[in-house]
Amino acid sequence: CKTPYPAYINLTDCRVPLVQVPNTEPPFIVLENSVRESQSAHRGLHVISLAENKQLRLGRGHESDVRIADVSISRCHAIVRFQRGAFVLEDNNSKFGTLVAMRKTRPIDSKTTLAVQCGRTVLKLIQQSTEGATETQAAS
């Protein structure tokens, strides 16, 4: 069955969400898997807090926070962190680099979309401001 589940269900007198979503401490990053349906049946949305100076590790290794199943990506390919009020993307000395052999830290600003290629995987980073909090979306 390919019918999507409803976001809310009706109980006696009230409407409640089907799944409770916890509040995420800002700053946070939203990652959406947007692999073509012909390549994968798995779609997902991940919300990850970068509070308390946490770093988000992207790669194919088990130690990565976000695992990308791509043999051309290093085990820990790149790092996203929140530094001085901005999201920053940094290559982690990967074999083939990130975003055309990117070797320097790259800030992610709110004015542009940043397309990042890690191996054969393309990540699209968009910073959005929502009710005073800042979030970044990434799609692979």
d(CA 60, CA 71): 7
pLDDT score of 57: 92
pLDDT score of 7: 85
pLDDT score of 135: 46
Residue 138, token pair as written in the block: 């990434």
Q: Is 0.75 topped by the overall pTM?
A: no
C-alpha 124 chain-centroid distance: 9
SS3 per residue for 72-139: CCCCCCEEEEEECCEEEEEECCCCCCECCCECCCEEECCCCEEEEEECCEEEEEEEEEECCEEEEEEE
**Per-position pLDDT tens, the chain of length 140:** 678 888 889 998 999 988 887 888 989 888 776 665 555 555 667 788 999 999 999 889 999 998 888 888 889 988 988 988 888 888 888 887 665 445 666 677 777 777 777 777 777 777 766 554 444 444 44
pLDDT score of 67: 87
- How do the residues of the chain divide into helix, strand and coil, expressed in percent and rounded to 5? 0, 50, 50
pLDDT score of 14: 92
